[in-house]
């Protein structure tokens, strides 16, 4: 199917549910080469310019660590969500940023305006996400991965004499790795990794159901230019000191929102029937008042029911019954805390959420 200008598989041979379960129980490989990857020289001028859009203290980013963050517009709305890392390549310090394919145009306009020599490395590098509890075992026979690598650590390794960027990260709620590898070695690496029977190629369908079960936001669904990270329930990702900084886009809006009540809140939903909850469906309270909308919905293979993420008005008391309009009928839906499944990230060799 067409996706952000790419022709992408929804699933491979065995189907979405099987791919999903294989990632939760073993491991799966996603080709996410459509995503944006850019290298920006880590110098003070560039950092200061980028800090207008990115709500982090970029000078204080720890070397070999990644951070989840955003590009913000003047109203504090989300231009894009991204992963930004501080990493040395060939002894030179860089910021390595991975961002959404659907937002390349908007994001790159900003990156290039801040750092004219920023290098779009997705042109020469593929990006693969190997996800699931067995990912470390699947990968360690193929590339060198330090035993003590934690979730959101990032480093440079080698494959076929090519430098590759490895981060312990992903967007499935599972342990896993993302590899940025030069195009000419990409096929070799994937063929090599696929020799392990515990892993398989996975498409966009399972990528979506895995991130939704993990309660993770997706740009264009939970996030857009009219929603701030605080409204999206992602205030943990903002550096609070930066909200006092006039140089940050929307800093006043954001600090006000932190102090005051929001108009909407993000909730998780589980279907009480076998019907599927889907993006765009409308939600109603007991008195038939429209109180919100679903932003993402899918079938959850782990719960064997349909699940969804929705925004509802803050006044709605989540102890009250909530109904979703599915085709012509109103169906009762259950409110569930996000995430729907426990996260399975690694720190100091053990699992943490």
Binding mask 327-346 for another protein (x = CB under 8 A): x-------------------
Q: Does residue 181 interact with another protein by CB under 8 A?
A: no
Binding window for another protein (CB under 8 A); candidates: 8-16, 23-31, 148-156, 184-192: 8-16
The minimum distance between CB 145 and another protein, in angstroms, equals 32
Instruction: Return d(Cα 98, Cα 105) in angstroms, integer.
Output: 14
Contact between 275 and another protein by CB under 8 A: the answer reads yes
Q: What angle do CA 12, 15, 17 make, to 5 degrees?
A: 135
Which of residues 18 and 188 has its CB atom nearest to another protein in the complex?
A: 18
Asked if residue 155 binds another protein (CB under 8 A), the reply is no
Q: What is the distance between the alpha carbons of residues 190 and 217, in angstroms, rounded to a whole number?
A: 28
Rounded to whole angstroms, how far apart are CA atoms 179 and 168? 9
How many other CB atoms sit within 10 Å of the CB of residue 121?
Answer: 18
Min dist. Cβ of residue 268 to another protein (A): 18
**What would the DSSP string read from start to end of 3-37?**
ETTEE--S--TT-HHHHHHHHHHS-EEEE-TTSEE
CB 287 within 8 Å of CB 88: no
Q: How far is the CB of 341 from another protein (least distance, A)?
A: 17
3-state secondary structure (DSSP) of residue 54:
coil
Least separation in angstroms between CB 238 and another protein? 34
Per-residue interface string for the shown chain with another protein, residues 303-322, x marking contact by CB under 8 A: ---x----------------
Residues 200-229 that bind another protein (CB under 8 A): 205, 209
- Structure tokens that stand for 350 in this block: 């053990």
Number of residues that bind another protein (CB under 8 A): 16
Q: Which is nearer to another protein, 6 or 12 (CB)?
A: 12
E strand or H helix that includes residue 47? helix 44-50
Distance of CA 47 to CAs 72, 111, 251, 262, Å?
Answer: 15, 11, 17, 31
Contact region with another protein (CB under 8 A), list: 45-53, 112-120, 186-194, 274-282: 274-282
With CA atoms as reference, report the closest residue to 19 among 215, 301, 298, 217: 301
Q: Fill in the per-residue mask, 11 to 30: x = in contact with another protein (CB under 8 A), - = not in contact.
A: x---xxxx------------
CB of 279 to another protein, least distance (A): 11
Nearer to another protein, 258 or 303 (CB): 303
Binds another protein (CB under 8 A): choice among 74, 274, 317, 350: 274
Interface with another protein, residue 278, by CB under 8 A? yes
**What values do phi and psi take at 307, rounded to 5?**
-130, 165
Binding residues vs another protein (CB under 8 A): 10-11, 15-18, 205, 209, 274-276, 278, 298-299, 306, 327
């Amino acid at each position: 199917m067409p996706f952000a200008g790419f022709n992408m598989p929804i699933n491979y041979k065995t189907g979405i549910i099987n791919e999903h379960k294989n990632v939760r129980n073993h491991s799966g490989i996603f080709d996410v080469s459509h995503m944006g990857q850019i290298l920006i020289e880590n110098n003070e001028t560039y950092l200061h310019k980028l800090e207008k859009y990115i709500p982090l203290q970029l000078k204080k980013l720890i070397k070999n660590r990644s951070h989840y963050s955003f590009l913000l517009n003047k109203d504090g709305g989300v231009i894009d969500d991204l992963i930004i890392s501080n990493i040395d390549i060939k002894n030179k310090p860089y910021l390595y940023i991975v961002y959404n394919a659907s937002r390349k145009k908007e994001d790159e306009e900003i990156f290039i305006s801040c750092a004219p020599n920023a290098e779009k490395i997705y042109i020469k590098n593929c990006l693969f996400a190997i996800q699931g509890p067995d990912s470390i075992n699947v990968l360690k026979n193929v590339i060198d991965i330090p035993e003590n690598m934690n979730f959101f650590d990032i480093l440079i390794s080698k494959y076929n004499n090519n430098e590759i960027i490895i981060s312990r990260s992903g967007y499935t709620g599972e342990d896993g790795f993302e590899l940025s590898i030069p195009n000419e070695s990409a096929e070799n690496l994937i063929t090599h990794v696929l020799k392990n029977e515990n892993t398989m190629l996975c498409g966009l369908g399972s990528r979506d159901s895995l991130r939704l079960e993990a309660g993770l936001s997706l740009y264009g669904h939970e996030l857009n230019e009219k929603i701030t990270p605080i409204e999206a329930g992602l205030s943990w990702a903002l550096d609070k000191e930066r909200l006092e900084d006039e140089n940050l886009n929307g800093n006043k809006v954001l600090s006000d929102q932190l102090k005051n009540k929001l108009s909407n809140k993000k909730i998780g939903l589980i279907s009480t029937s076998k019907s599927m909850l889907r993006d765009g469906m409308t939600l109603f309270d007991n008195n038939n008042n429209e109180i919100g909308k679903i932003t993402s919905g899918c079938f959850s293979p782990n719960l064997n029911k349909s699940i969804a993420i929705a925004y509802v008005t803050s006044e709605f008391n989540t102890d009250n019954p909530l109904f979703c309009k599915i085709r012509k009928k109103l169906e009762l839906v259950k409110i569930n805390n996000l995430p729907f499944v426990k996260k399975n990230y690694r720190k100091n060799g053990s699992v943490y959420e």
